[in-house]
Amino acid sequence: AQKVTQAQTEISVVEKEDVTLDCVYETRDTTYYLFWYKQPPSGELVFLIRRNSFDEQNEISGRYSWNFQKSTSSFNFTITASQVVDSAVYFCALNDYKLSFGAGTTVTVRA
Amino acid sequence: NAGVTQTPKFQVLKTGQSMTLQCAQDMNHEYMSWYRQDPGMGLRLIHYSVGAGITDQGEVPNGYNVSRSTTEDFPLRLLSAAPSQTSVYFCASGGPGPSYEQYFGPGTRLTVT
């Protein structure tokens, strides 16, 4: 059974628009860790953020923000004022001792 | 620090051929893993290792073998390549528990004809 669902396959926006990426996860464990990774067109995978299941404090880092809600099993990611360089595939991942990735959301930011 | 290195970068195999994808890391990480990335499916875990001499299966282990004789190296072997194994393969390493982020290699693009 899929443990991480990213329902949005592709999102296309114009520069300066905000983009929110949805991630819903499923696990029976009470302790687990959630991640977001970015894969730019060059192909490498870059770690963005980690959250543990006990830390529901939302975070803002520059133009990025994350919204973790345990009650709805969601860990959403927002890019504020998007830029062309944000164009990439974004993956949500869950680690409850085996790392499971969602299918990814392709974000295209047009100038 | 080279991080996680993978060789080769590209490979074309004929059905039935065997080959080994190499992965090495210089960060002294205990945890290493192999993923395959296919369009629309994200990354799927093939095999992983929590330390030298210890390996386990991931989500899609069939057709692949691994071994971990040293902390640094974690090769992935395809014993008899099939077209269904055409994919991009990523090796990753990270700390000893699930709270640690994974550091990924640059990937190997494999085509099986």
Pick among B87, B100, B101 to test the A interface (most A CBs inside 10 A)? B101
- As a whole number, mean pLDDT of residues A9-13 equals 96
Instruction: Sort A71 into a burial class: Cβ within 10 Å, 0-12 / 13-18 / 19+.
Output: exposed
> For chain A, what percent of residues have pLDDT higher than 70?
98
Query: Where residue A104 falls among pLDDT bands split at 50, 70, 90?
Result: very high
Helix/strand/coil for B67: coil
pLDDT at B98: 78
- What separation, in Å, do the N-terminal and C-terminal C-alpha atoms of chain B show? 36
pLDDT of A97 > 80? The answer is no
Distance between the two ends of chain A, CA-based, in angstroms?
A: 39
CA–CA distance, B16 with B39 (Å, rounded to integer): 24
Q: Could you give the 3-state DSSP secondary structure of residue A84? A: helix
Q: Which pLDDT does position A59 carry in this prediction?
A: 79
Number of Cβ atoms within 10 Å of the Cβ of B85? 19
If pLDDT is split at 50, 70 and 90, which confidence band does A2 have?
Answer: low
Q: Answer for the pair B30, B95: CB distance below 8 angstroms, yes or no.
A: yes
Give me the mean pLDDT over the A71-80 stretch.
94
Which of chain B's residues have a Cβ under 8 Å away from the Cβ of A25? none
For the stretch A45-62, pLDDT in tens is 999 988 888 887 777 888
Residue to substitute from B29, B36, B38, B43, interface A, most A β-carbons within 10 A: B43
The residue behind tokens 């386990």 is: B56
If one compares A3 and A60, the residue with the highest pLDDT of the two is: A3
Question: Nearest C-alpha of chain A: how many angstroms from B44?
Answer: 7
Average pLDDT over residues A100-104: 93
The first and second tokens of residue A92, run together, are 């949500």
pLDDT for residue B30: 92
> What's the Cα-to-Cα distance from A68 to each of A25, A33, A54, A103, rounded to whole Å?
11, 11, 10, 19
Write down the pLDDT at residue A24: 97
Q: What pLDDT is recorded for position A88?
A: 97
Kindly give, in sequence order, each residue whose CB lies less than 8 Å from that of residue B86, ignoring residues fewer than 6 positions away. Answer: B110, B111, B112
Q: Residue A63 is which amino acid?
A: R
Give the pLDDT of residue B2.
80
Residues A111/A84, Cβ–Cβ less than 8 Å? yes
| Contact in structure between A63 and A53 (CB atoms under 8 Å) | no
Distance from CA of A73 to the nearest CA of B (A): 18
Q: Give residue-wise pLDDT tens across range B76-103.
A: 999 999 999 999 999 999 987 778 889 9
- Residues of A with CB below 8 A from B101's CB? 35, 47, 50
Mean pLDDT within A81-99? 92
Per the CB < 8 A criterion, the answer to whether B93 and B102 are in contact is yes
Say whether A52 and B40 touch across the interface (CB within 8 A).
no
What's the average model confidence in pLDDT over B30-44?
A: 92
List beta partners, residue A100: A94
Are B98 and A32 an interchain contact pair (Cβ–Cβ within 8 Å)?
yes
